[in-house]
């Protein structure tokens, strides 16, 4: 068989590291999960233009939603669809990263995965826009009771 190559050794070390992360419970698990989530948000901000644009949009629209004189449930809807949009964008970015990790060549299954993720983001954008339009129209459009 011969001596393991550096690549074999590195792969073995990565598998061991991955196993070391599994099975944590209690407070240690919560701390690790929080750190991984923070790292994910940091990576999304650093590498994903769409995520940055949506965060900036949220930074403007969330205070507006909280300021608007609408019922609490509608405020929650306005903020909730923006949070949903960020969640879908993060999942789409994860799909893209996983597909690109395997290969940068255009593979039909990889393309399908990326297209499906993109479609999910588009639907989330339409849902967010539609919700904002509906709430604003209902409360401030023609015929709204003031």
Contact 73, 144 (CB under 8 A): no
State the number of CA atoms in the 13 A half-sphere of 64 facing the CB. Answer: 11
Whether the CA torsion 81, 38, 48, 63 is positive or negative: it is: positive
How many other C-beta atoms are found inside a 10 Å radius of the C-beta of residue 106?
Answer: 8
Catalytic-residue membership of 89 = yes
Terminal Cα-to-Cα distance of the chain (whole angstroms)? 81
Of the residues 16, 89, 96, 105, which is catalytic? Answer: 89
Question: Distance between CA atoms of 78 and 132, rounded to whole angstroms?
Answer: 6
Residues carrying an active site annotation: 89
């Amino acid at each position: 068989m011969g001596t393991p190559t550096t690549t074999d050794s590195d792969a073995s070390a990565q598998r061991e590291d991955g196993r070391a992360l599994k099975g944590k419970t209690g407070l240690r698990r919560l701390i690790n999960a929080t750190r991984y989530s923070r790292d994910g948000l940091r990576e999304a901000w650093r590498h994903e233009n769409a995520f940055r644009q949506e965060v900036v949009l949220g930074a403007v629209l969330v205070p507006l939603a909280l300021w608007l004189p609408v019922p609490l449930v509608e405020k929650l809807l306005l903020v909730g669809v923006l949070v949903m949009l960020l969640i879908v964008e993060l999942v789409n970015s994860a799909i893209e990263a996983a597909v690109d990790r395997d290969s940068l060549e255009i593979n039909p299954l990889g393309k399908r995965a990326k297209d499906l993720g993109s479609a999910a983001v588009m639907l989330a954008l339409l849902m967010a826009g539609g919700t904002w339009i509906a709430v604003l129209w209902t409360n401030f459009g023609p015929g709204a009771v003031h």
